[in-house]
Structure 1
C-alpha cells in the first residue's frame, strides 16, 4: 500500500466514523441503547472515541509505511476541527432537517 492509498483510506474512514453516531440509534452501531433516541451528549462522546480510533488507525498506517513523524498540539487541534467538520452532514440530517411525520 502506498502513501496515497493510505491517506485516502484514512480520510474515508474518518468521514464514515464522524457521521456514524448521527445515522443510528445504537452505541457505536453495535450496542443497543436504553434511549429511544440517543441524546446529543452520547453522540458527542461517540465522536470523541471514534476520533481517537481513527487516529490510531492513521498512526498504524503511517508506522507501517515508514517512520512516524512527530506531531505537536497544532496537528491534533486541526484534526479534531476537521473531524467535527466531517460530521456536519450527519448533524444536519439528524437535527436540522425538517421531518414530515
Structure 2
C-alpha cells in the first residue's frame, strides 16, 4: 500500500467513525443499549445520552489513531508525536463529526 492510498483510507475512516455516534442509537454501531425502565417493551430503542456520544467519539478517535499508526508502521518508520499533534488531530476529528451533530441535534 502506498502513502497516498493509506492517507485517503485514514481520512475516509475518520469521517465515517466521527459521524457514527450521532447517526445511530447503538454503542459503537453494534452494541444495543439496555432498556431504561420496567415500563418499556423489550424491543424499545433507547436514546443515547450526549455524554455517552462524546465518550464514544473519544474512543473512536483512538481507533482511527491506531489505524493511522498501524498503516504508518507498515509503510516505514513511525515518527514520534508530541502533544500538538494530538491537539490538532482531536480538533480535526471534532470538525469531521460536525455533520452528524447537525443532523442529530440542530436539524429538526
- For this structure pair, what is the TM-score category when the shorter chain's length is used for normalisation? over 0.9
Residue 90 of structure 2 is matched in structure 1 by 80
In structure 2, the residue matched to 1:20 is 20
Q: Residues 59-78 of structure 1: matches in 2 within 5 Å? A: 59-78=69-88
Structure 1, unaligned stretches of length 5 or more? none
- Classify the secondary structure of the residue corresponding to 1:22: helix
Q: Computing the radius of gyration over CA atoms, which structure comes out larger, 1 or 2?
A: 2
* Match status 1:52 vs 2:37: no
For residue 70 of structure 1, report the CA deviation from its aligned partner.
Answer: 1.1
Structure 2 unmatched ranges of 5 or more: 37-45
- State the superposition RMSD in angstroms: 0.7
Q: TM-score of the superposition, structure 2-length normalised?
A: 0.89
- Which 4+ residue blocks in structure 1 deviate beyond 3 angstroms? none
Residue in 2 that maps onto 1:94: 104
- Give the number of aligned pairs: 98
